[in-house]
Amino acid sequence: MKQDSDIFLALLMNFALCSLMAVGGANSVVPEMHRQAVDVHLWISDRKFSELFAIAQAAPGPNVVFVTLLGHYIAGVPGALVTTFAMCAPTCTIAYLVARVFDRFKDATWRIVIQAGLVPVTIGLIAASALIVARAADRDAATFLITIASFALAYWTRITPLAALAAAAGLGLIGII
Amino acid sequence: MPEPAAPVPPPPIPHPPFPPGRHVPTPRELFLGFAKIAVCGFGGVLAWSRRVIVQERGWMSPEEFNEQLALCQVLPGPNIVNFSVMFGSRAAGLPGSLAALFGLLGPPVILMILAGILYRRYGELPELRGVLSGLAAAAAGLLIATSLQMIRAMVKNRLTAGHIVAVVTFGAAGILRMPLLWVMAVVIPISIAFAWWERR
């Protein structure tokens, strides 16, 4: 039982920290989640991390529920609930506390400056997430081509990104990948 | 306007997004509205939150929605989750926050737990290997597209300090795999200082 509570405590601490570092959204902390779960704690393999990320992307709902899936893989239903709670509770508490006064800062210089300063950091982190997921997912020519095709569809067309996910899953089903 | 099922009086102070005369959603309506956003929001919930909150329910004007979202982007954490908490609080206090939050997270969390059970049971089946590899490769492509779109939005026509910050952050977190806390402790103050400098 000691081992169990250890893992839940580790999940709680890790994801609560990720919650507070998630500038610009949940996908910004994918590099840190990957570092912790794959490299530091060996909770999950690189390949499975990328597959769970993809399943979460394909499902409806906010991006953040990737942590639910990850928590479930690591420690079952309690793990899923712990990671989801840890990822949301700290920032939700802050959001709740500032909700009623935040409007006042709408035009405050410091808010505009902080927001402007966070944008490049967010961009760097999302790009890092992309690199990490791509490196885990692209293991041969076929998967590499899928990544390029799905990038091209999302970047240059207005077709829903779900089409890329569906087409890739279909190709996998008929054995091309 | 639909009649609320239970006549729960809204809290005494309706806050800024609710000018006189506009319907203030009850916790029940908040729960249902955000649950709809979560269930319909394939491939990102932002478009659906705008659609439900602004167009369908008329809880906010488009300008109010954008302003509120911009405020949420200053806070850490999942933006739309913060949005639901703040909006719920303004409409109906703590019960409103919890209702919006549980509406937004409840259905996808249940779905993800079901998906997790299936993945643990069948994820290694040979028939599914190709599907999952394909999905992962496609998801990587989508994330690359998202980052390039963000970069394109930032690239005006000159190099700014922001570009250097983005590259350094990318290198430290993505290539060197440094602990994010250290990276952010260095990069965020510098980036905010640059932003302040450029604004002067």
pLDDT > 50? residue A1: no
How far off is chain A from B1, nearest CA to CA, in Å? 26
pLDDT > 50? residue A165: yes
Q: Which residues of A touch B73 (CB under 8 A)?
A: 24, 115, 118
**Residue pointed to by tokens 């103050």:** B189
* Model confidence band, residue A126 (pLDDT cutoffs 50, 70, 90): very high
Q: Averaged over B55-62, what is the pLDDT? A: 92
Model pLDDT for residues B139-194, shown as the tens digit of each residue: 999 999 999 988 888 776 667 888 899 999 999 999 999 999 999 999 999 999 99
Alpha-carbon separation of residue B45 from A173, B55, B113, B170 (angstroms): 27, 15, 19, 25
B130 interface with A at CB cutoff 8 Å: yes
Model pLDDT for residues A49-84, shown as the tens digit of each residue: 999 999 999 999 999 999 999 999 999 999 999 999
Give the number of other CB atoms < 10 A from CB of residue B23.
Answer: 15
B24 interface with A at CB cutoff 8 Å: no
pLDDT > 70? residue B8: no
Output the pLDDT for position B22: 86
From the list B13, B29, B17, B14, the residue with the least C-alpha distance to B68 is: B17
pLDDT > 50? residue B1: no
Q: Averaged over A99-108, what is the pLDDT? A: 79
Q: Which residues of A touch B161 (CB under 8 A)?
A: 120
pLDDT > 90? residue B96: yes
Q: Which residues contact B12 (CB under 8 A, 6 or more apart)?
A: none
Cα separation, B50 vs B59, in Å, equals 10
pLDDT > 70? residue B16: no
Query: What are the tokens at A122?
Result: 């967010």
Q: Averaged over A139-144, what is the pLDDT? A: 94
Q: A11 or A107: whose pLDDT is higher?
A: A11
| Residue of A30, A70, A72, A158 for testing the chain B interface, max B β-carbons within 10 Å | A72
Task: Determine whether the interchain pair A100/B15 forms a contact, defined as Cβ–Cβ distance below 8 Å.
Answer: yes
Q: The whole model's pTM is what?
A: 0.89
Q: Which residues of B touch A133 (CB under 8 A)?
A: 136, 139-140, 143
Model pLDDT for residues B118-140, shown as the tens digit of each residue: 999 999 998 899 999 999 999 99
* Model confidence band, residue A34 (pLDDT cutoffs 50, 70, 90): very high
Give the mean pLDDT of chain A.
92
Model pLDDT for residues A13-22, shown as the tens digit of each residue: 999 999 999 9
A107 interface with B at CB cutoff 8 Å: no
How far off is chain A from B4, nearest CA to CA, in Å? 25
Residue A54: burial class (beta carbons within 10 Å; 0-12, 13-18, 19+): buried
